[in-house]
Amino acid sequence: MFVKQLSKDFIEIHAPAKINLFLQVLGKRPDGFHNINSLIQAITLFDRLKIEKIDEPECRVKLTGKLSSAPIENNLVTQAYKLLKNKFGLKNGIKVELEKNIPIAAGLGGGSSDCAAAMIAINLIFELGLSSPELVNFSLKLGSDIPFFFSKGQALVSGRGEIIEETDFPVDYKIIVVATDISVSTAQSYEALNLNLTTNKSACKLKPYCGFEGYVESLVGLDNDFEAVQFLLYPELVTIKEALLQSGAKLVRMSGSGPTMFGIFADNWERSRVCRGDFSDCQLYTVKPFLLPGQGIPQL
């Protein structure tokens, strides 16, 4: 997250998308959620939120940008406001202008990132004094993907998503994100995955490596468990993977439960070999991973 406090009651936040460099689903929990093991990386694709305190005790959301046709009724930003309003008895509301740039329901965590951004803004505007661990605990009431977005941008995530182990792996590479118009249901993806799921699956770990090439080689040996399911249902995702590999990508993977694919490239020359004609029905985003320095939330 990148935060700019324009005034006491007005905050601008850049909320990043994420990719899953690997993703294991280890088993279903007694509470109905799933235990996961994933390395998650924030990328330089951002939604931009301008959040301002208003007199009326409500959350008003206005969408702008290329994806402004997305439904906004009771979205995660609104839910975040309602949660904190009820918990702390907030008498005022917020007005949110949300420039939506992260594809929706794409496995990139855009809604979860927006939710975390709203919670950070409300915490500051209303001077609630909540720590990051406290915000994480509140966010779990709204979604399992949200806690990651209170981290510095790279972390091993486990449990149902609440256990965040911040990491310091290389970020000196480039990424092409390929977003399709395929509609994927996360719940249905988990149901399909459960057909062969065992509850005693062990968590994998990155092998020792040296440098960027070794890091990528270690990642290649891991997987996203959802790929086996989605590749059978949507063969076009396999076509995208093959096209990215042929273009020089060192690693190609699906993010989350899909349907977005991404390729990792060592440098700009390799990335320039990607032929947009291979992805005529997709949205391509050229981005980089990032790792925030130090602790806390940096200012814009």
Residue whose token pair is 């993907």? 145
pLDDT at 196 over 90: no
Structure tokens at 215: 């890091």
User: What is the rounded CA–CA span in Å between residue 119 and residue 150?
Assistant: 10
Mean pLDDT, residues 233-255 taken together = 95
Tell me the pTM.
0.92
pLDDT at 177 over 60: yes
Residue 12 φ/ψ, nearest 5 degrees: -115, 135
pLDDT tens-digit profile of 29-59? 888 888 999 999 999 999 999 999 999 999 9
Catalytic-labelled residue, pool 85, 100, 114, 145: 145
Q: Which domains does the chain have, with CATH numbers?
A: 2-166 (3.30.230.10), 174-287 (3.30.70.890)
- 243 residue type, one letter: A
Write down the pLDDT at residue 184: 81
pLDDT tens-digit profile of 200-229? 578 888 888 889 999 999 999 999 999 999
User: What is the rounded CA–CA span in Å between residue 147 and residue 271?
Assistant: 31
Pairing of strands 261-265, 2-7: unpaired
18 labelled catalytic: yes
User: What is the rounded CA–CA span in Å between residue 139 and residue 116?
Assistant: 7
User: What is the rounded CA–CA span in Å between residue 194 and residue 236?
Assistant: 23
Partners of 230 in the β-ladder: none
The H or E element that residue 35 is part of is strand 34-54
Catalytic-labelled residue, pool 18, 100, 241, 250: 18
In percent, the amount of the chain with pLDDT more than 90 equals 72
pLDDT at 199 over 70: no
Name the residue with higher pLDDT: 189 or 217. Answer: 217
pLDDT tens-digit profile of 56-96? 999 999 999 877 666 666 799 999 999 999 999 999 999 99
pLDDT tens-digit profile of 269-292? 667 777 777 787 899 999 999 998
Partners of 224 in the β-ladder: 23
Mean residue pLDDT of the chain comes to 90
Confidence of residue 100 (pLDDT cuts 50, 70, 90): very high
CB 157 within 8 A of CB 38: yes
Degrees (nearest 5) of the Cα angle 131, 126, 54?
A: 145
Q: What residues contact 237, with CB distance under 8 A and at least 6 apart? A: 180, 182, 227, 230, 231, 254, 258, 259, 261
Confidence of residue 194 (pLDDT cuts 50, 70, 90): low
Cis bond upstream, residue 259 (ω within 30) = yes
Mean pLDDT, residues 140-163 taken together = 95
Cβ atoms within 10 Å of 210's Cβ, excluding its own = 9
